Structure 1
Amino acid sequence: MPLDRSATIGPIRIEVIEPLRTIRYVVDSNEQKISCDLTFRATTAAIEEPRQQRRTAEGIVLTDHTRLTQWGSWEGTISVDGDELAVEAGSVPGTRDRSWGIRPVGEQLPMVRQPMPFQVFWLWAPLHFGDRFTHYAFHEHEDGRRWLETAEILDPLPDGASPWSRVGVRECYDIGYELDWAPGRREIRRAHLWFTDPVEGETHIELETLYTFRMRGIGYWHPHWGHGSNHGQYEIGRESIPLADFNPTDFASLHLQNVVKATMGDRTGIGVVEQIALGPHTPSGLTGFLDGYQG
């Protein structure tokens, strides 16, 4: 990454047209035959999630990061192998997020101490309901003790309001969930989320998985393209795998985002549920490190 963050990296460039409001992502034509010209237009304020900090029993920092999340819409084009998909303005809701800080990825510093057992239970769900947006995220230990949680409701950003303000954002509490796991997998079919809205009271959301995106497709835990790995200045590659060919309990396939249909009262919406479930999690009935759900 050059010091000038506005520089072109191979065929890729990002243009900040209006900070925290309009951002353009471009992948120019290249030998991998994947390109795009997409623009994100913000609908809500950009929120900063709670700081995620976890240490070993000896006090060594494993993770210390935070994340910006923002709801909006996408428009432009995507091209794969000459087939072009039009993303029509105003018709494709979505989110963007950007995290920064320390994570256990890439080349690690050597340690004399024995590392702690690696256990993660993570759920992250930004959802769109037309004129209402919700956010939901938590981390839990093996026994279900929660070491991070947040739930928020957002309204569209009013004209003239700052996108880095808390205008139209309210914190919720009494956060809970029920998950319906796919047999033999560590991924959900359906979910029931709830929290208490300080304005409208107890709120329930039902989620149904439409399809699943495996995050190794953008580098997470990929055996070659993993984050923090050095491939020289401008190495470019492509990997195409039929979705049915993924081993659902392979380590590199367990970090995923489910595109979901969401129902909240009389509102119907769409969003994603991001999941990481590594190691045992007693409340869910998950055992072992990678073992699929057995019911």
Structure 2
Amino acid sequence: MISAADDFLIHQTPEPIRFAGTSDRRFYDRHFFTGHCREKKIFFLLGVGAYPNLGVIDAFASVATDRAQFTTRASRELGADRLDTAGIGPFGLEVLEGLRRLRFTGAASGHAVGLDLEWCAAAEPLAEPPLFSRVLARVMEQGTRMIQTGRYTGHLVVDGERHEVTPDTWWGARDRSWGVRSIGLEREPAGIAQAKKLGRERTPLWIWSPMQFEHRTVHFSLSEHADGRREVEVVRQAAELGSGTDAVELGEPEHELKFDPATRELLDGSSVSFRDLDGTRTTVRLTPLHRAYLRAGTGYGGPDPWRHGAYRGQNWVDSVSFDITDPAVTSVIGPTHVLCRMEASTGEIGFGTFETQVFGAYPRYGFVS
């Protein structure tokens, strides 16, 4: 299946670009964006993902306002050309300049969400540690993920209301990842791992946060067991855009968080800290401003039946909405991306998503089961 992508000098296997280096049906290649307005209660999540071994490419745009979260999603057959990221229902993604500028479009006519947004990088990308886990002899997760902050220009239409988007007040981050991950609708029959309930123990506390300040980006990420052991511990400062330098490792990430005991939602008064470039400890106070729910029809699970990689034929498109003022609704569409104002002890003021999940028992914050 030779395609236009094969004219680029980017091959990593002896086969055409259309064929992934593994036949694992869970292989994926995805863009994920978060974005917000500093002056309005608007917080959005965008995504485009290709699943070569499922023959599907899909996309979604989900916008949380002060009362509801509106999501439009679409899917089509992938076809032979992996460079073709247009015509996913109303959506399309263009890489205008690699690691610098991308354009996400979606016609508003007849749909809950429409947009024409250009994302421009504010810092160099940060590579997270490689993802890898195995159960018995099977690779369960293996991939690469990078984080990059930026600013948006264009417009956004949600529930019929148009918002002009300018880079001075519309900021956000992107999560670019690819590899093997347990996502994609086609499931295999249960085997020995399921029968014997084998698998990697899930860490109770998860934190993922690209912190975007005016003149720097700090990525803070932890995966921590109840006894304090950590599987992931990342706190890094991105290189300045175009500087030609590498990211800088900061150190000693810590957290002092407050949660609603019933919903486990992050509350005001939370903070994180780290050892900064000059050796002093910088504390960042987190003030939640707004929340976008990851499972509000975006394909990540929850009450909605659509999942990433699900085959829906050619040109499938659909819109859903969720009342995010109703606790009965929000309890089943979490976890949340919490948009926070981030006040550092250095005097810097930043903004960004603070994704936090607490699973099961974590006594430090009052959760016993």
Aligned length: 280
Paired residue for 1:119? 202
Secondary structure of residue in 1 paired with 2:316: coil
Per the TM alignment, residue 155 of structure 1 is displaced from its structure 2 partner at its CA by 4.9
Residues 144, 282 of structure 1: 8 Å contact kept: no
Match of 2:100 in 1: 21
2:170 alignment partner in structure 1: 92
Q: Note if 1:232 corresponds to 2:310.
A: no
Which of residues 104, 112, 119 is equivalent to 1:40? 119
* CA positional deviation for 1:123: 0.7
Judge conservation of contact 1:23–1:41 (CA < 8 Å) in 2: yes
Alignment partner of 1:86: what SS? strand
The question of whether the paired residues in 1 share the 8 Å contact of 2:173 and 2:210 is answered with yes
Letter aligned with residue 132 of structure 1: R
Call closer, same or farther: CA 1:101–1:140 in 2, change over 3 Å: farther
| 1:270 maps to amino acid | F
State whether residues 223 and 233 of structure 2, in contact with CA within 8 Å, keep that contact through their aligned partners in structure 1: yes
Match of 1:76, SS state, is strand
Q: Which residue of 2 aligns with 1:292?
A: none
1:187 aligns with 2:269: no
Asked whether the equivalents of residues 41 and 74 of structure 1 are also in contact (C-alpha less than 8 Å), the reply is yes
1:220 is matched with which residue?
300
CA 1:244–1:207: 2 relative to 1, 3 Å: same
C-alpha separation in 1, matches of 2:310 and 2:366? 34
1:130 equivalent to 2:210? Answer: no
Correspondent of 1:154 among 234, 238, 241:
238
The amino acid that maps onto 1:263 is E
Shift of the 119–46 alpha-carbon distance from structure 1 to 2, 3 Å rule, reads same
Residues 134 and 241 of structure 1, relative CA distance in 2, 3 Å threshold:
same
Q: CA deviation at 1:200?
A: 4.2
Are the counterparts in 2 of residues 119 and 280 from structure 1 also a CA contact under 8 Å?
no
**Conserved? CA contact 2:253–2:273, under 8 Å:** yes
Q: Does residue 199 of structure 1 match 2:278?
A: yes
| TM-score, normalised with respect to structure 1 | 0.85
Residue in 2 aligned with 1:170?
Answer: 248
Distance 1:282 1:60 in 2: 33
Runs (5+) with no aligned partner, structure 2: 1-56, 58-77
Shift of 1:173: 1.5
Give how far 1:122 is off.
Answer: 1.5
Gap change, CA 1:239 and 1:246, over 3 Å in 2: farther
Q: Which residue of 2 aligns with 1:263?
A: 343
Q: CA deviation at 1:140?
A: 2.0
Q: 1:16 offset after TM fit, Å? A: 1.1
Aligned-partner Cα distance in 2 for 1:200–1:17: 39
Instruction: Name the CA shift for 1:198/1:83 in 2 (closer, same or farther; >3 Å).
Output: closer
SS at match of 2:328: coil
| In 2: Cα distance, 1:45 partner to 1:66 partner | 16
Letter in 2 for 1:153: Q
Contact 1:25 1:38 in 2 (8 A): yes
Could you tell me how far apart the structure 1 residues matched to 2:202 and 2:335 are? 13
Rounded Cα–Cα distance in structure 2 between residues aligned with 1:275 and 1:20:
27
> 2:362 pairs with 275, 281, 286, which one?
281
CA distance in 2, matches of 1:202, 1:208: 20
Residues 152 and 170 of structure 1 are in contact (CA less than 8 Å); yes or no, is this contact kept in structure 2?
yes
**1:39: Cα distance to partner?**
0.5
Residue in 2 that maps onto 1:293: none
Higher RCO (CA-CA < 8 Å; seq separation 6+): 2
Aligned-partner residue type, residue 358 of structure 2: A
109-118 vs 254-263, which deviates more? 109-118
TM-score (norm 2): 0.69
What amino acid sits opposite 2:343 in the alignment? T
Residue 33 of structure 1 deviates from its aligned partner by 4.0
Q: Does 1:253 align with 2:333?
A: yes
- AA in 1 matched with 2:274: F
- RMSD across aligned C-alpha pairs, in angstroms? 2.3
Structure 1: any 5+ residue segments left out of the alignment?
289-295
> Aligned pair 1:69/2:152, yes or no?
no
State the alpha-carbon separation in 2 of the partners of residues 212 and 80 from structure 1: 16
> CA contact under 8 A between 1:68 and 1:97: conserved in structure 2?
yes
* Larger deviation, residues 189-198 vs 277-286: 277-286
Alpha-carbon distance in 2 for matches of 1:142, 1:55: 22
User: 1: distance between equivalents of 2:326 and 2:130?
Assistant: 36
- Per-residue deviation, 1:254: 2.8
Q: Counterpart in 2 of 1:80?
A: 158
The separation in 1 between residues aligned to 2:309 and 2:360, in whole angstroms, is 23
